[in-house]
């Protein structure tokens, strides 16, 4: 092929990046013979941006295929901080997610839920959306501190709104029909090439058929939440555990060496999700002009009792009128009532019942995990003690 024809082909096959994982890791690029499956509509993506973009796109694509609803994900460092399908928000979630008075399409509701799972962790996230981005979703995205978005398309009005984002914001349009041409994937580590079959196992409700507990009830809402959790875990760095409720992730414990630490981390995040809907939190008297990010951090500190900045700057009124923190007993009382019907999923088997003991305190009623532990009987017994319904999926979902 003449050199004049090779240049356009090379431009399609490779994309130069700002740098690799760190600024000193340059040059960096992504490449694929035959052309990349996405277009850069704005900005210059980095190495981590594209890892998050490709991981999160697969997640929302699979969520939509499994549940036939628009889906969104908020990704940070190759794992989801939140993921959700789109359906209307409750009044308390509308306030907790700071979307009062906004026009929320189903896709916008999905992102509000994904971002709202853990708003502190989602600061500066990468966003994936399963559907063509409409203007309501773009207006929601414009308000949030984010690095970029990937979607199969953008309405002209939505693209115009996103062009107003800060300089450097990246917009990627992915080919929704793209599938990797080969079942094998490769990567190099320290000069050694690893090769394996891609994890192309689809997560469907068939994986929930083997219920091993005395309780057998798995209503439609529970199946939905278990599928949300399992699909999220498929694209989460292992070890990982996920708490889900109401069609969305509410707590992820990712990348821990011990599974009980995954469960404790996910449960703690889920507890905060529930507590952010407490009337005392929804009614916190923030001063006018306090940003959403400042509110997110202040609410997190308020509930953890570790605010690090002068509270007078945050609240209206005098020092004596500053809001009283919820006591431990008040938090437990709220969780005992409000944290209910939660779904728990794990990317590998639970080796001990301590995971279920902690899950029970977080309102878990439904569980899906691969099974296969030497102590499966003890784990099943724990579920039976708490009245949980547990399915063994038989499918491990490690990601490294």
Total domain count for the chain?
A: 4
Please indicate, yes or no, if residue 356 is contained in any of the structural domains. Answer: yes
- Mean pLDDT, residues 4-10: 47
- Mean pLDDT, residues 41-54: 96
Which residue from 334, 296, 294 is spatially nearest to 314, judged by alpha carbons? 294
The reported pLDDT for the residue numbered 363 is 97
Residue where a domain terminates, one of 150, 174, 198:
174
Residue where a domain terminates, one of 139, 174, 209:
174
Please indicate, yes or no, if residue 398 is contained in any of the structural domains. Answer: no
The reported pLDDT for the residue numbered 324 is 81
The reported pLDDT for the residue numbered 2 is 39
Shared domain for 349 and 215, answered yes or no, is: yes
Shared domain for 251 and 383, answered yes or no, is: yes
pLDDT surpasses 90 at 248? yes
Catalytic residue among 64, 165, 234, 239: 239
Please indicate, yes or no, if residue 330 is contained in any of the structural domains. Answer: no
Shared domain for 80 and 125, answered yes or no, is: yes
The reported pLDDT for the residue numbered 131 is 98
Q: Is 166 a catalytic residue?
A: no
Catalytic residue among 49, 64, 76, 234: 76
Q: Is 210 a catalytic residue?
A: no
Kindly report the CATH number assigned to the domain that includes residue 77. Answer: 3.40.140.20
- Mean pLDDT, residues 375-393: 98
- Mean pLDDT, residues 315-321: 66
pLDDT tens digits, residue range 125-152? 999 999 999 999 999 999 999 999 999 9
Instruction: Report helix, strand or coil for 266.
Output: helix
Please indicate, yes or no, if residue 399 is contained in any of the structural domains. Answer: no
Please indicate, yes or no, if residue 80 is contained in any of the structural domains. Answer: yes
Please indicate, yes or no, if residue 89 is contained in any of the structural domains. Answer: yes
Cβ proximity of 172 and 148 under 8 Å: yes
Please indicate, yes or no, if residue 96 is contained in any of the structural domains. Answer: yes
| CA–CA distance, 251 with 93 (Å, rounded to integer) | 15
The reported pLDDT for the residue numbered 304 is 82
pLDDT surpasses 80 at 166? yes
pLDDT surpasses 80 at 349? yes
Measured CA to CA in angstroms, residue 148 lies from 49, 126, 144 at distances of 8, 5, 11
The reported pLDDT for the residue numbered 301 is 86
pLDDT tens digits, residue range 265-305? 999 999 999 999 999 999 998 888 889 999 998 899 889 87
Shared domain for 351 and 310, answered yes or no, is: no
Q: How big is the CA angle at 341 (ends 338 and 346), to the nearest 5 degrees? A: 120
Q: Find the domain containing 12 and state its range.
A: 1-36
Shared domain for 7 and 67, answered yes or no, is: no
Catalytic residue among 18, 77, 87, 261: 77
Residue 110: band (very low, low, confident or very high) from pLDDT cuts 50, 70, 90: very high
Shared domain for 250 and 346, answered yes or no, is: yes
The reported pLDDT for the residue numbered 3 is 42
Residue 5: band (very low, low, confident or very high) from pLDDT cuts 50, 70, 90: very low
Asked whether the whole model's pTM tops 0.75, one would answer yes
Shared domain for 232 and 243, answered yes or no, is: yes
Residue 13: band (very low, low, confident or very high) from pLDDT cuts 50, 70, 90: confident
Which residue from 386, 384, 350, 352 is spatially nearest to 368, judged by alpha carbons? 350
The reported pLDDT for the residue numbered 6 is 45
Residue 107 tokens read as 């896709």
Shared domain for 136 and 68, answered yes or no, is: yes
| CA–CA distance, 28 with 321 (Å, rounded to integer) | 54
Across the chain, mean pLDDT equals 93
Shared domain for 268 and 290, answered yes or no, is: no
Q: Is 76 a catalytic residue?
A: yes
In 10 A of CB 289, how many CB atoms?
Answer: 6
Cβ proximity of 136 and 105 under 8 Å: yes
Please indicate, yes or no, if residue 64 is contained in any of the structural domains. Answer: yes
Shared domain for 268 and 219, answered yes or no, is: yes
Instruction: Report helix, strand or coil for 244.
Output: strand
Shared domain for 166 and 252, answered yes or no, is: no
Residue where a domain terminates, one of 141, 174, 207:
174
Residue 165: band (very low, low, confident or very high) from pLDDT cuts 50, 70, 90: very high
pLDDT surpasses 90 at 123? yes
Shared domain for 104 and 189, answered yes or no, is: no
Q: Is 239 a catalytic residue?
A: yes
């Amino acid at each position: 092929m003449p050199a004049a024809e090779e240049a356009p082909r090379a431009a399609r096959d490779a994309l130069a990046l700002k740098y690799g994982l760190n600024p000193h890791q340059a040059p960096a690029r992504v490449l694929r013979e035959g052309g990349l499956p996405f277009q850069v509509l704005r900005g210059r993506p980095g190495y981590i941006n594209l890892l998050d973009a490709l991981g999160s796109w697969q997640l929302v694509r699979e969520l939509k295929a499994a549940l036939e609803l628009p889906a969104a994900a908020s990704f940070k460092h190759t794992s989801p901080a939140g993921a959700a399908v789109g359906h209307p928000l409750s009044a308390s979630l509308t306030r907790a997610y700071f979307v009062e008075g906004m026009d929320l399409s189903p896709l916008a509701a999905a992102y509000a839920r994904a971002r709202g799972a853990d708003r502190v962790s989602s600061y500066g996230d990468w966003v994936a959306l399963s559907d063509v981005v409409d203007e309501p979703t773009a207006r929601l995205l414009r308000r949030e501190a984010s690095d970029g978005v990937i979607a199969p398309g953008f309405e002209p009005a939505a693209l115009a709104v996103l062009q107003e984002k800060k300089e450097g914001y990246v917009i990627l349009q992915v080919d929704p029909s793209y599938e990797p041409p080969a079942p094998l994937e490769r990567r190099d580590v320290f000069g050694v090439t690893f090769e394996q079959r891609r994890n192309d196992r689809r997560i469907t409700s068939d994986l929930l058929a083997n219920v091993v507990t005395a309780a057998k009830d798995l209503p439609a809402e529970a199946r939905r939440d278990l599928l949300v959790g399992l699909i999220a875990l498929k694209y989460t760095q292992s070890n990982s555990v996920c708490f889900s409720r109401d069609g969305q992730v509410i707590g992820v414990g990712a990348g821990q060496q011990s599974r009980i630490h995954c469960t404790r981390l996910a449960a703690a995040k889920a507890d905060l999700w529930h507590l952010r809907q407490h009337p005392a939190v929804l009614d916190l008297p923030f001063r006018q002009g306090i940003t959403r990010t400042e509110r997110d951090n202040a609410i997190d500190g308020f509930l953890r009792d570790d605010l690090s900045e002068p509270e007078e700057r945050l609240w209206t009124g005098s020092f004596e009128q500053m809001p009283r923190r919820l006591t431990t007993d008040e938090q437990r009382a709220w969780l005992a009532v409000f944290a209910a019907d939660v779904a728990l999923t794990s990317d590998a088997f639970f080796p001990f019942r301590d995971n279920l003991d902690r899950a029970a305190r977080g309102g878990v009623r439904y569980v899906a995990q691969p099974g296969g532990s030497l102590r499966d009987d003890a784990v099943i017994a724990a579920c039976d003690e708490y009245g949980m319904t547990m399915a063994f999926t038989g499918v491990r979902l490690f990601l490294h």
